[in-house]
Structure 1
Amino acid sequence: MPKAESGLKPERQRKPTIHDVAHTADVAVGTVSRFLNGRPIRMSSQTRIETAIEELGFVKNVAAATIRKEASRMIGFLVSSYDELQITILAGLTARMQSRGRTVLPLTHDGSSETMVQALKFFEEHRIEALVASGDFTAMQGSPLLKGLDTHIILFNNDIPELACDRVLFNDAIGMQKAVDHLLGLGHTRIGLIAGRPDHSSGEGRLEGYMRAMRDGPGVDETLVVGHEWSRQTGYFAGMELLDGEDPPTAIVCASYLSALGLLDLVRERGIVVPRELSIISFGDCDTFGLVGPGIDALSMPAKRIVDHIDHLYVNRAKLRSPTRAFVDVELIIRGSSAPPIQRSG
């Protein structure tokens, strides 16, 4: 006998869940969760989520029963390597975030696409609240995973112009111009530059500042611009190229403290007297520069101010929906490695 149908109940319409919203908006569930909890996400994702909520008739006040808890309380920190500046910023940021009940997860991507992808996937899996990163190397600039990471991104030191995010950058061009103007004021006209990476915004900015100061002064000699890298080895061999030229410079500015250390290796090896025979200024400071005699003049990059800006952007991001750009000035510290040039015979 067929079963009686009198016991059947009419099917109740299922209420849409956060998973339905995520599917309709084509975003991750965690992204919808961040939106519902008032955390910042990409504007494009926010628009799609709001549209999906309206289409589905999703009621926000039922979210607590359907979403996983948004409580990672973790901040990602991603750089290519740990130099003196990165370490100082990481230490300051860690202390600041600990006071806010947050944990900083530091990773390096060493410039390769593979480690870049691994790092970003790790951060995505841990549902970080924000990513603080130095926007360096082609691996980072071209990563679609970075562009698709739905979290609050704050870049520092180097920029990725096409990425819609907050950034805190140094006034590289103004700082370099300050160093070159100082040497011009001492009477130098042959000023060499050991440049930084041309694919980094910081390298481009420092080159721009050098070129601007030289154009306003004695004019630009392209043979005095060498290097194009940040390493200590580059400083050594670029310094050799400058000093072995037909008309060597009487002063050299290094675009990074690492290249300045390499130049100092060469100077010590050749017995060149600083600053009587060669004036040197480094863009970027380190503890060693205050210990050698004479001390090395340097453009100091204040890490504390960078941390202050990052913390401010992190705390206020929910209020500031459009990307924010902040600039930090560098300070020229004179210790004794620059002086007027000696008059050359002949």
Structure 2
Amino acid sequence: MTTSAHPAPTSRDVARAAGVSQATVSLVLGDKWRGRVSERTAGLVRDTARDLGYRPNLAARSLRLGRTRTALLVVPALTNEFFARVYTGAAEAAAEHGFGVVLYPSPDGIGPARDPFASARTALDGVIASSMATGALGALRSAGLPLVMLDSDPTDRDGDDTAGAAAAHVNLDIGDGMQQVAAHLLGLGHRRFVHLASAVDSWTFDVRARTLATVLHATPGTTLRTVRSRLDVHSARAATEAALTSGEDRPTALICDDDILAAGACKALRRLGLRVPEDISVTGFDDLSLATAVEPELTTVRLPAEQVGRRGMAALLAVLDGRTPDTTGLPVDLVVRGSTALAP
């Protein structure tokens, strides 16, 4: 005796169970429902499809649309928790729309990624990139693939207009994050600052530096020194030790571009016999897991990394569907913990 498996549910089954037409199911599951179907109905269709275990015939759909339903995500490195979380958000959003995400971390670690397109461009629908070399952007433009840039200068142009190939930019409100840090420390009475800045040449770190300088220079009686460091704990410790033993006036606060830099700074202060925050307050940026692993826990700026990935994927899907992507800045929040206190 043989048994037959239950047939896979079809879009007609979903329509019947949800009490809507097949056309409505196609609009919702094809992510083309906005302006045609109410949010309530779209949610009902998605929930019904999930409950029934419905899976669209992606192979047939891809042939019909001329798409592979695959996006490439380019990040500087997966050794940094922030970019791993960006990938998580992008992959989750992609899966909800029947897309896959291929990940391309730079083989050089933190810094611009090399051109990954030579062999892959024909198998992609589009690219989401956090950091890329100019040459890669040029190759992408020539391939005609839509590009969504994450955490990058939305006004950037170079001589070849390669940056102009971006169909959309998705950014965090980095400047506001640094303003929150400065306001917090100024409110605690701090006036002598050292900015432990990332040595990576990128828009996001430039914004942090410019914003901090603008806010502090507008406050009478403040001083600001900038010390650059590579993005690792050892380099940050060495840079901090050098800054604090240079013979210049000791700062009351260290403002770090990244939680990793802040961890290195805290190590340097302990080696020099200084206490955090009694002698010097320290702030970070990103709110990585590291921020609550150190003692005292770091005051830092929380960046919604998963939302960056989700928004980037949503922007790419919008571009592919001929819709206008959402490019509003993602808000960030200052998280106050034990590494900051009143200026000594």
What TM-score results when the alignment is normalised by the length of structure 2?
0.71
Residues 1:210 and 2:212 are matched in the alignment: yes
- Distance in 2 (alpha carbons) for counterparts of 1:333 and 1:209: 19
- Distance in 1 (alpha carbons) for counterparts of 2:97 and 2:186: 47
Aligned-pair identity in percent equals: 22
- Distance in 1 (alpha carbons) for counterparts of 2:313 and 2:149: 12
- Distance in 2 (alpha carbons) for counterparts of 1:114 and 1:93: 20
Q: Shift of the alpha carbon at 1:129?
A: 1.3
Question: Where does residue 11 of structure 2 map in the other structure?
Answer: none
Question: Where does residue 32 of structure 1 map in the other structure?
Answer: none
- Distance in 1 (alpha carbons) for counterparts of 2:113 and 2:329: 29
Question: Where does residue 120 of structure 2 map in the other structure?
Answer: 123
Task: Tell me the secondary structure at the aligned position of residue 226 of structure 1.
Answer: strand
Question: Where does residue 96 of structure 1 map in the other structure?
Answer: 93
Residues 1:157 and 2:151 are matched in the alignment: yes
Q: 1:159 to 1:320 in 2, by over 3 A?
A: farther
Match of 1:106 among 95, 103, 108: 103
- Distance in 1 (alpha carbons) for counterparts of 2:208 and 2:244: 21
Question: Where does residue 200 of structure 1 map in the other structure?
Answer: 202
Q: Which amino acid aligns with 1:260?
A: A
- Distance in 1 (alpha carbons) for counterparts of 2:238 and 2:174: 24
For residues 248-327 of structure 1, what are the structure 2 equivalents within 5 Å?
248-318=250-320, 325-327=327-329
Q: Which amino acid aligns with 1:177?
A: Q
CA RMSD of aligned residues (A): 2.8
Match of 2:81 among 51, 71, 84: 84
For residues 162-173 of structure 1, what are the structure 2 equivalents within 5 Å?
162=157, 163-164=163-164, 165=166, 166-173=168-175
Q: Shift of the alpha carbon at 1:170?
A: 1.6
Instruction: Compare CA radii of gyration and give the structure with the larger one.
Output: 1
Q: Which amino acid aligns with 1:150?
A: G
- Distance in 2 (alpha carbons) for counterparts of 1:114 and 1:189: 35
- Distance in 2 (alpha carbons) for counterparts of 1:287 and 1:142: 32
- Distance in 2 (alpha carbons) for counterparts of 1:221 and 1:93: 41
Question: Where does residue 19 of structure 1 map in the other structure?
Answer: none
Q: Shift of the alpha carbon at 1:116?
A: 1.4
Task: Tell me the secondary structure at the aligned position of residue 242 of structure 2.
Answer: helix
Question: Where does residue 243 of structure 2 map in the other structure?
Answer: 242
Task: Tell me the secondary structure at the aligned position of residue 122 of structure 1.
Answer: coil
Q: Shift of the alpha carbon at 1:233?
A: 3.3
Number of equivalenced pairs: 272
CA contact (8 A) 1:155 1:167 kept: yes
Question: Where does residue 69 of structure 2 map in the other structure?
Answer: 73
Q: Shift of the alpha carbon at 1:70?
A: 2.5
Match of 1:175 among 177, 180, 191: 177
Q: Which amino acid aligns with 2:249?
A: D
Q: Residues 22-77 of structure 1, C-alpha deviation per residue, up to 9 Å, x if partnerless?
A: xxxxxxxxxxxxxxxxxxxxxxxxxxxxxxxxxxxxxxxxxxxxx99824111101
Q: Shift of the alpha carbon at 1:106?
A: 0.4
Q: 1:170 to 1:226 in 2, by over 3 A?
A: same
Q: Shift of the alpha carbon at 1:294?
A: 1.9
Q: Shift of the alpha carbon at 1:197?
A: 3.9
Q: Shift of the alpha carbon at 1:322?
A: 7.0
- Distance in 1 (alpha carbons) for counterparts of 2:205 and 2:250: 23
Question: Where does residue 130 of structure 2 map in the other structure?
Answer: 134
Q: Which amino acid aligns with 2:146?
A: H
CA contact (8 A) 1:94 1:103 kept: yes
Q: Which amino acid aligns with 1:158?
A: S
Q: Shift of the alpha carbon at 1:198?
A: 6.3
Q: 1:195 to 1:140 in 2, by over 3 A?
A: same
Task: Tell me the secondary structure at the aligned position of residue 338 of structure 1.
Answer: coil
Q: Residues 327-346 of structure 1, C-alpha deviation per residue, up to 9 Å, x if partnerless?
A: 1121100111100122xxxx
Q: Which amino acid aligns with 1:244?
A: T
Q: Which amino acid aligns with 1:153?
A: L
In structure 2, the gaps of 5 or more residues are 1-62, 158-162
Q: Which amino acid aligns with 1:267?
A: L
- Distance in 1 (alpha carbons) for counterparts of 2:77 and 2:192: 33
Q: 1:302 to 1:68 in 2, by over 3 A?
A: closer
Question: Where does residue 21 of structure 1 map in the other structure?
Answer: none
What TM-score results when the alignment is normalised by the length of structure 1?
0.71
Q: Which amino acid aligns with 2:343?
A: P
Q: Shift of the alpha carbon at 1:324?
A: 6.4
Question: Where does residue 228 of structure 2 map in the other structure?
Answer: 227
